[in-house]
Structure 1
Amino acid sequence: MGLEILRNEIEKAGPSTVHKLYEWAAKNPDKKFLYYGEDDRALSFAEFNTATNQIAHFLKSMGIVKGDSISVYLFNPFVTSVVMIGIWKTGAVFCPINFSYKGRLLSYQINDTAPKALITEQSRVSFLNEVKSELPALKVLLRKPKRDEHDHRVDSMELDRKFEQIDFDDMLKGNGANLDTEINYWDTASIMYTSGTTGPAKGVVHSHRWISQYIFPSRLVTHEDDVKYSDLPMYHISGAYAAVARVIWTGSNIAIWDRFSPSDFWNRIHRSGASSASLMDVMMPWLMNAAETSKDRYNSLKWVHMQPLPKYHHKIARRFGFDVVTVGYGSTETGMPIWGCIDELEGEEGTPGELYRGLPKASIFRIFQEYGYPVFTGTEELKKGIMGKAVLFESAILNERDEILGPGGYGQLAFRSKLSFGLMSGYFKKPEATLEAHKNQWFHTGDACYRDENDIYYFIDRMGNFIRVRGENVSTYQIEDILNTHPGVEVSAAFPIPAQEGDEDDIVVYVLLKQEGGLGEDELRNWITAEMPKFMWPKHIRFINAFPQTATNKIEKYKLKEIILKELASN
């Protein structure tokens, strides 16, 4: 499909999520928009539109103007959804904070964003009070859950008087009329922070156009009758945009819960009638580990996005009757520039007809192909790390001199947007980091990938996670992926340290066992010898009771490296 057609498609859809909400609230005011499973509560498009208007009018009465940053430190995704759209309706910037942050992580992000106000809830008060000396005298809109709400807690801690406390409920009592704020596609919509494993986190600046391109592939095939299930956090692009924003753009329906529950997942799908969901890596094994029943296929989920795509994707799709599986490459900086689709069941029925919602699966595959996205079959052998094709972006694999590599060449994945403001607008207040990421007019993802002769892209590992051993580039991802298949291993972490001899690396692995003492080093080494090529064998193996982690649950390998180097030096 030509660039001009794609550009027209994006522009025809409108400049922002706010415009789409106004449109659907006028067209289908009584249609259910959002169902919140934790409190068994639902809002129609009209009700949601009114609530977000009330919040916007209140914020404007506080002096909030277009371009101001508003920090949002909330756990409740229902409330966060209303707040996010209300902020956008003023032209202000949605700045979500990971609800597990406290201490320096919390104060750093608030101070870096420099918000005009902060919206939070009672359960976060103690964390704010702990860092009060590091924060300015903020205006804090404080939500106190009511007794009939599931997140009500008996918590008498008061917000420190340094902060100007404002009752959150006051925002929902005023003017519910639509606003006339001018919102352009190039205006800043949000600042979302990446995890910092080796330094301070960076705020990624998103335009309203960025959100539109991020959800472009998924909204192509989302019908008004579809129901999106989400249990992903709203401080992440997957929860805020791939779920909530996408449903607003398409006039469909969303059912949200606070967090994933393997024991309650299918009950939630049945309650909501969800037709699509996203399953992250840890979720799929939990679902597959449940005992099989004759009713596994009797559910309404026709379309599941799997990221990353597991080797057993076809097995899980056949068991639960997923007609459509999508894959892709997504990041906070780039959105979803690469996308692909798998026809898992081909001519076989997956979702029972009486439960099926939205476009027929044949139409879904046809639309993806018309726009240039690849459609694979579930029975074909798909290479590990498969992601799909880029449509709205120029894409390339670059070497260390930013020269484009041909098919099969391993290098860094890079993009150029074909649309203005299609990529992130930059790293907030970090111009040097922004320029470095965009050097030579390519956005450098920091991910090692390759492409094949059909321009299908494959993920290998994060750059810097290569280990040079015996003349081979070894991926830490590959080592961990193999180790984690051992029945006694819960999770592992691999990384390099300087080799005792020569200029290459020695491999170190730290292992968390499913049962403490259930596996010895000799036994594990014997297993590794049988499962891995020799150049991947670790020089050092250590067992650990708990991994050091960032606030977003990423293993802090640099801390493990410090431990092993200190140990080896002392010996």
Structure 2
Amino acid sequence: MTDTTQAGLTALLRADGELVTERLDHWAATAGDRPFFHYGEDGITLTYAEFARRTDAIAGNLAAHGIAKGDRVSVFCANPFASALMMFGIWKAGAVYCPVNFAYTGHLLTYQLRDTAPAMVVTDPALLPALNAVADDLDGAPTVAVYAPPAGAHDHVATREDVSPRLPELAWAELQAPAERPPVTVEFDDPANIIYTSGTTGPAKGVVQPYRWLAQYTFNLRRALTTDDVIYNDLPLYHVGGAIANIARAAWAGCEVAVWNRFSSGDFWRRIASRGATTAILLDVMIPWLMNAPAGEDDRRNTLNKVHMQPLPAHHAEVAKRFGIDFVTAGFGQTESGAPLAVVIEETEAGGGTPPELYRGRSHAEIRELTTALGMPVLRGDEVRHKGLMGLPSPFLEVAVLDEHDRYCADGEPGQLAVRPRLPGLVPAGYLGKPEATVAATRNLWFHTGDAAVRGADGMFCFVDRLGDRIRVRGENLSSFQVEEILNRHPAVQLSAVFSIPSREGGEDDVVAYVVSGDGKVLTEQDVHEFAAGAMPKYMRPRHVRIVPDLPRTPTNKVEKYRLRARILDELKEEGR
């Protein structure tokens, strides 16, 4: 069993390196000709040595242009190839990787850039107009570098918009020119990233993640990998799932990561076959799309043998049986707390999932041995019938279910999931520039996740629901506060109340908005839909809008959203929707 003393846990983390940049250096030196990063959109493959050389140069050029240790660099790119190069280059310069959701425009983009206050912003030609549009609203004047896709690339453009004259520009060619890596040393508790998570009662918060957080977050998933594995990724690099759980994890494991811009249910299996991918993360909305495709005799003839499902669906065994998936992993993943819980589900016996001639990576016996050595459960597929099972705590973190007074809940009693690190640097130090939110989240020496869970008599944790007004659409987490804040900017809107109702697709939500118009102002549902289309990303837009004279409220003037939720559900039921 794992030694859970501080010395034992530190040694466990250091066994394969605490710093992701050190792991990339290791593989570049020992297996430099091995493929590391494959970009499927353009058919580009960089070896470990090539990727290391290019990111060394980016780091050197960042330093030459004044980017110092601790400086923040915002990456506002839809292209994951450019984003990945920048991410590692930023880390090697000792700077802080600050990705921005590439669907953001206007107020959402302005807020994040003002909150982050980056020294530099890296963008691509398609997103430059959105950046230019908010240039005058930024507090400072960060240097801008615009990715220049080469001729023949899917996103190559012959000409592009000029960078706003208010913002100094650094040519992409200067950022890529040969240069020596700067002599920068980072420690395990230095900040590596600032990644934003939605807040339920206020603006989005920047989570300041130290380097050791990356090691903790990837630890459970990478233990099952060998250098023969290939990680498939179609998640964006402004999310920890794409940037850290997939790409950084590959650098730790010394294997290949095959990357595409976005998920495609119609192209998913062709992509898996093209690189022989062995492992992938499937978010809840992706699974129904794959399962809805017509079944075929060759559904099991693929190389995908390890899949992480987040959250775990009730029909995981059915998915695994159809597509020949040997192992399904699940747990709890969060921008703040990392990966405090995990479970491994052995869906088939050896040889019963992926055809033996296509199977690559650790054997069934090796995965069972490695997992149980960490004190983590390995369950049979037919043993797991609970939707949302998250498993047992990682050796690096204590986990509890707490009531509103931070007392332990009894087994079977729902409460808030909370975590406590066993080593320094395992969880973020706090939220950027928001000390009150940091104190509230870390009260009584626990980090409060904001999610409801239950602990079973067997010690296993299960997800119950999101606390507060968080909403999940198309794999994105958002808050009702964010949507309300934007809708309330419409000149005819006096007040709005936003909440979620279950969607017909997977474990997703539909966004509902009840809107009150200002005195004497005319407002229609179509007006609200059109305003939302121009002001927010598609996943954030309300699917159902209702214009009402007023909102039900408590005596303390809090909107009673549960009444509105019951009203819209009854209405949709009567309409047969």
Counterpart position of 2:421: 417
Contact 1:417 1:423 (C-alpha < 8 Å) held by counterparts = yes
One-letter amino acid of the counterpart of residue 207, structure 1: P
Runs of 5+ consecutive residues of structure 2 not aligned to the other structure: 471-479, 481-499, 516-528, 554-566, 568-577
Quote the Cα distance in structure 1 between the aligned partners of 2:530 and 2:345: 39
Counterpart position of 2:474: none
Determine which of 220, 227, 231 is the counterpart of 1:228. 231
Quote the Cα distance in structure 2 between the aligned partners of 1:371 and 1:293: 38
Counterpart position of 2:168: 164
Runs of 5+ consecutive residues of structure 1 not aligned to the other structure: 467-475, 498-543
| Aligned pairs (5 A) from 1:417-566 | 417-464=421-468, 480=501, 484=504, 492=510, 551=537, 553-554=539-540, 563=547, 566=550
Quote the Cα distance in structure 1 between the aligned partners of 2:112 and 2:38: 31
Determine which of 45, 66, 73 is the counterpart of 2:48. 45
* Residue 402 of structure 2 corresponds to residue 398 of structure 1: yes
Q: Deviations over 1:115-156 (max 9, x none)?
A: 111111111111112112102322111123233111123554
Quote the Cα distance in structure 1 between the aligned partners of 2:183 and 2:174: 22
One-letter amino acid of the counterpart of residue 504, structure 2: N
SS of 1:436 mapped into structure 2 = helix
SS of 2:411 mapped into structure 1 = coil
Counterpart position of 1:307: 310
Q: Deviations over 1:81-133 (max 9, x none)?
A: 11100001111000000011110111111111111111111111111121121
Counterpart position of 2:338: 335
Quote the Cα distance in structure 1 between the aligned partners of 2:541 and 2:107: 18
Quote the Cα distance in structure 2 between the aligned partners of 1:547 and 1:71: 25
Structure 1 residues 435, 393: closer, same or farther in 2, change over 3 A? Answer: same
Contact 1:185 1:208 (C-alpha < 8 Å) held by counterparts = yes
Structure 1 residues 465, 407: closer, same or farther in 2, change over 3 A? Answer: farther
Q: Deviations over 1:463-513 (max 9, x none)?
A: 2369xxxxxxxxx9xx955x7379xx996458999xxxxxxxxxxxxxxxx
SS of 1:122 mapped into structure 2 = coil
One-letter amino acid of the counterpart of residue 178, structure 2: G
| Aligned pairs (5 A) from 1:82-97 | 82-97=85-100
Quote the Cα distance in structure 1 between the aligned partners of 2:65 and 2:423: 35
Quote the Cα distance in structure 2 between the aligned partners of 1:62 and 1:348: 55
* Residue 191 of structure 2 corresponds to residue 188 of structure 1: yes
One-letter amino acid of the counterpart of residue 149, structure 1: A
Contact 2:149 2:156 (C-alpha < 8 Å) held by counterparts = yes
Counterpart position of 1:114: 117
Q: Report the RMSD for the aligned CA atoms in angstroms.
A: 2.8
Counterpart position of 1:507: none
Quote the Cα distance in structure 1 between the aligned partners of 2:327 and 2:400: 27
| Aligned pairs (5 A) from 1:275-354 | 275-354=278-357
Contact 1:195 1:550 (C-alpha < 8 Å) held by counterparts = no
Quote the Cα distance in structure 1 between the aligned partners of 2:177 and 2:398: 48
Structure 1 residues 311, 224: closer, same or farther in 2, change over 3 A? Answer: same
Counterpart position of 2:103: 100
Counterpart position of 1:510: none
Quote the Cα distance in structure 2 between the aligned partners of 1:133 and 1:209: 37
SS of 2:358 mapped into structure 1 = coil
Where relative contact order (Cα < 8 A, 6+ residues apart) is larger, the structure is 2
* Residue 386 of structure 2 corresponds to residue 383 of structure 1: yes
Structure 1 residues 265, 490: closer, same or farther in 2, change over 3 A? Answer: same
One-letter amino acid of the counterpart of residue 138, structure 1: P
Quote the Cα distance in structure 1 between the aligned partners of 2:202 and 2:417: 22
SS of 1:80 mapped into structure 2 = helix
Determine which of 14, 19, 42 is the counterpart of 2:17. 14
Counterpart position of 2:372: 369
Structure 1 residues 496, 98: closer, same or farther in 2, change over 3 A? Answer: closer
SS of 2:42 mapped into structure 1 = coil
Contact 2:511 2:540 (C-alpha < 8 Å) held by counterparts = no
Counterpart position of 1:407: 411
One-letter amino acid of the counterpart of residue 4, structure 2: L
Aligned residues with identical type, % of pairs: 41
One-letter amino acid of the counterpart of residue 358, structure 1: G
Contact 2:223 2:370 (C-alpha < 8 Å) held by counterparts = yes
Structure 1 residues 161, 546: closer, same or farther in 2, change over 3 A? Answer: closer
Contact 2:278 2:303 (C-alpha < 8 Å) held by counterparts = yes
With the length of structure 2 as denominator, give the TM-score of the two structures: 0.83
Q: Deviations over 1:32-70 (max 9, x none)?
A: 111110000100000000000000000010111111111
* Residue 158 of structure 2 corresponds to residue 138 of structure 1: no
Q: How many residues align?
A: 507
Could you tell which deviates more after superposition, 251-260 or 344-353?
344-353
Q: Deviations over 1:319-346 (max 9, x none)?
A: 0000000001011101111011111113
Q: Deviations over 1:293-339 (max 9, x none)?
A: 11101000000000111111111100000000000101110111101
Instruction: Give 1:198 deviation, angstroms.
Output: 4.1
Counterpart position of 2:277: 274
Contact 1:34 1:255 (C-alpha < 8 Å) held by counterparts = yes
SS of 1:354 mapped into structure 2 = helix
With the length of structure 1 as denominator, give the TM-score of the two structures: 0.84
Quote the Cα distance in structure 1 between the aligned partners of 2:401 and 2:531: 36
Instruction: Give 1:425 deviation, angstroms.
Output: 1.5
Structure 1 residues 253, 566: closer, same or farther in 2, change over 3 A? Answer: same
Instruction: Give 1:545 deviation, angstroms.
Output: 11
